[in-house]
Amino acid sequence: MKLRVRALGLTLGIALGVWIFVGTLWAVIDGRGQTLAYLRAYCLGFTVSFGGAFLGLLWGIVYGFILGALVAWLYNTFCKALYKSEISMK
């Protein structure tokens, strides 16, 4: 089975983006955003605010897409290599 690189990238990107968006809004409403403030190291311009939630959504989509595409590509590459080795052994 072959994974579609763009499909997994978009899926993980949207999931991570929404997770950061909801988490940031929750922290703004609850008033506890100390832990989420560490995202500033990875997401340029991110703050624990309503505007930062949208910026975190965009950064989450970017990072999630890259991660998902990398995972799908590695999976396909390893499956292809393992499948070829099983055929040559028979």
The predicted model scores a pTM of 0.84
pLDDT at 88: 52
pLDDT at 81: 87
Mean pLDDT over residues 5-32, rounded?
94
Query: CA-CA distance, 88 to 90, in Å (whole number)?
Result: 6
pLDDT at 86: 56
Give the tokens for residue 71: 């995972």
Q: What is the DSSP string of the chain?
A: ----HHHHHHHHHHHHHHHHHHHHHHHHHHT--TTGGGGGGTSTT--SSHHHHHHHHHHHHHHHHHHHHHHHHHHHHHHHHHHHHHHHH-
pLDDT at 85: 61
Using pLDDT thresholds of 50, 70 and 90, give the confidence band for residue 12.
Answer: very high
pLDDT at 73: 96
Residue 80, number of CB atoms within 10 A of its CB: 11
